[in-house]
Chain A
Amino acid sequence: MSEADKPEEPAAPAAKPGGKVKPPPLSRSKRQELRRKFLRTVLLTGGVLGAGLSGFLPMLYARRQRLRPPGALDEKDFLASCIKCGQCVQVCPVEAIKLADLVDGFGVGVPYIDARDQACDFSCDAVQCVLACPTGSLTYKKPEFFQVRAGAALATKPILLAKEKDPEPTINLTERMGVARLTRPELCLAIKGKGFKGQARGADFKGMMRYMAVDRWKPIPVSEHPYDVAECDLCVRECPIKGAISIETVYAPDGSQRKSPVVHEPCVGCGVCEMICPTEAASIEIVPREVWRT
């Protein structure tokens, strides 16, 4: 029933002087209408709360670890503090940051990086996303009362190779986003001793990167920058952080030796190695939130 324009609604029970307040009996239809209204209210309550609490489901099972932008608080604090505005998305020059969808439960609208599609290559030079964050979800320095997980803290401020010769060569980052791991060594071209020629990820790949030799300020598509290397070292070649990864000679248990990419402590987990890795699937990947283990 729509809220019709009743000129006078039935008067509320008035207290008779000296007597008890006796509510006038409600008609049967009125009582039924009230009951229906009550049931609808309960239904709407259940529906809205159910929808709200369904956000817990992805939290409880099938929980996917997301790579968060640089400077993110620990996952629980990150989800609590993120206001889901996407200002970090807007400042990123390579559009590495995306906002999660409904399947992330309470993480809907929260930023993440899909490093294989588009890694954070620090072409902004200054972790701009941290600067853009209005709530401190992304932060240069955690307030004291937040714990720093052992191995999450970087030993020193990472040196950005692109501005190594600048007076201030570091980027303002105290904790790593994750750590690169050689997850599929059996695919790695360096381990096989193979070279690589062509576009790292094929002609259709949309990912962008800043190549210092091409343009200091403008990232270009990876597909426009083909490679020709005798021994594949793309992950080392394009890693933006000084001393984070190198090709080393490693010894297998049987005594045989081979070349292999080796990740070092300065690795911040930006994902450039994962993006640039020419094997399908990537031989090297970022493990989000991973800490440095010695």
Chain B
Amino acid sequence: MSNTILRKRFLEQILVMFGREPKKPGAVSEPAKQIHLLKRTSNKEKLQAAAAHAEAHMSTSHKWRNRRWAVLLAANLLFVVSFYFDIQILEGALTASRFIGFHLIDLNSALQVMLAHKHIITNLLIGTGTVLVLWILFGGRTFCSWVCPYHLLAEWAEKIHLWLVKKKLVIDQPVDRRLRTVFWVVFALLALATGYTVYEAISPTGIVSRALIYGPGLALLWVLALLVFEVFFVRRAWCRYACPIGLTYGVVGIFSPVRIKYTLDGCFHEGNCRKVCLVPHVLDTVIKGRAVHTEVPIGPDCTRCGLCVDVCPTGSLTYDVKGLSKLL
């Protein structure tokens, strides 16, 4: 029973990734229903007191964020250091590289090249396959938050944006999330039709990565324009509403066992997690009454960044590897 419900939710989460708004669940498992009921009927004051207590005692650590930033910086610095000192550990840029000789090729870049060039050589295939397996193992959009250098810049721009929002100087102006899917299709079609890798020319991921390794250029102006747009107008506009790389890795994430898991039981539904999340639509399950089961895995669009894990006062959101907990 709970399995079918969870499977249905999982499929819905795929649609949510492509841009559908999350809906109230149709069916909720028995144990989850009981917890929802219990939360509704419990003494409100007591619950609020408990929530306040949990929040007051929560650790304000940035454990996962710090780990993630360390990994992101290390990965990008390894490219820089490899070239600068010619130590040949990680050669190339994020679009395509060799890690101690093994080809690694970014899935979206590979797709653009394949569609534009219409000819695929073995090395391209090998590199693409390796990266596909890599991100199936590590969680798909994990690439975004743990590797993409633009993500880090955008994260800092987001901090400024939120500060300005708090000062009531700007307001976030959200855009239709379906746009990202549209862009994905449009850029694929453009590559196919024009024979140019149109997306690669404006990809901030590629531009920033190359700027770090080979030195800055005028192309950074485009990245700067995006960041300015994100600070003053639309919160995290590129990552949320435009980037086809994110959607490509999101699709990979469908098949990944690494995800964030939500445990309904101890959650007070304060909603802190949704405030820090890059993709809050994947956290609709934490809204009161929405969880379909006692434990709900977060959908594929999640970047596994761990901001919600850090911020959750009750430990209701945790990293999880599907099947691993059963094994251990």
Contacts and interface: CB of A to CB of B under 8 A. Distances in A.
B116 A81 contact: yes
A49 B233 CA distance: 18
Select the residue from A44, A47, A49 with max chain B CB neighbours within 10 A: A44
Given A8-B289, A103-B218, A143-B119, A40 B210 contact: no
Contacts of B109: 83-84
B247 to A, nearest CB: 14
A246 B246 CA distance: 56
Contacts of A169: none
Contacts of A41: 175-176, 179, 241
Nearest to A145: B119
B96 interface: yes
A52 interface: yes
Interface in A25-57: 36-38, 40-41, 44-45, 47-49, 51-53, 55-56
Contact of B217 (A102, A134, A143): A102
Interface string B194-219: 11111111100011001001100111
A184 B92 CA distance: 38
Contacts of B171: 1-2
A235 to B, nearest CB: 30
B173 A36 contact: yes
Contacts of A82: 113, 197
B83 interface: yes
Contacts of B186: 49
Interface residues of B, number: 74
A77 interface: yes
Contact of A52 (B106, B124, B199, B213): B199
A interface majority secondary structure: helix
A84 B183 contact: no
Contacts of B97: 85, 87
A55 B113 contact: no
A12 B23 contact: yes
A99 B209 CA distance: 13
Contact of B24 (A12, A85, A105): A12
A90 interface: yes
A221 interface: no
B259 interface: no
A44 B179 contact: yes
A293 B279 CA distance: 60
Contacts, number: 181
Interface in B221-272: 221-222, 229, 233-235, 237, 241-242, 269-271
B117 A85 contact: no
A55 B218 contact: no
A45 B269 contact: no
A135 interface: yes
A285 to B, nearest CB: 25
A143 B213 CA distance: 31
A85 B96 contact: yes
A27 B317 CA distance: 36
A5 B271 contact: yes
Interface in B81-138: 82-83, 86, 91-93, 95-98, 103, 105-106, 109-110, 113, 116-119, 121, 123-124, 127
B198 A44 contact: no
Contacts of A84: 93, 95, 109, 197, 200, 206, 210
Interface of A: 1-3, 5-9, 11-12, 36-38, 40-41, 44-45, 47-49, 51-53, 55-56, 59, 76-77, 79-87, 89-91, 99, 101-103, 105-106, 108-109, 132, 134-136, 143, 145
Interface of B: 23-24, 82-83, 86, 91-93, 95-98, 103, 105-106, 109-110, 113, 116-119, 121, 123-124, 127, 165, 171-176, 179, 182-183, 186-187, 190, 194-202, 206-207, 210, 213-214, 217-219, 221-222, 229, 233-235, 237, 241-242, 269-271, 274-275, 280, 287-289
The 6 closest A-B pairs by CB, nearest first: A5-B271, A85-B96, A136-B121, A81-B117, A101-B217, A80-B116
21 contacts: A1-B171, A2-B171, A2-B275, A3-B174, A5-B275, A7-B289, A37-B173, A37-B175, A40-B234, A45-B182, A48-B183, A52-B198, A55-B198, A83-B109, A84-B95, A86-B210, A101-B219, A106-B197, A106-B198, A109-B207, A135-B96
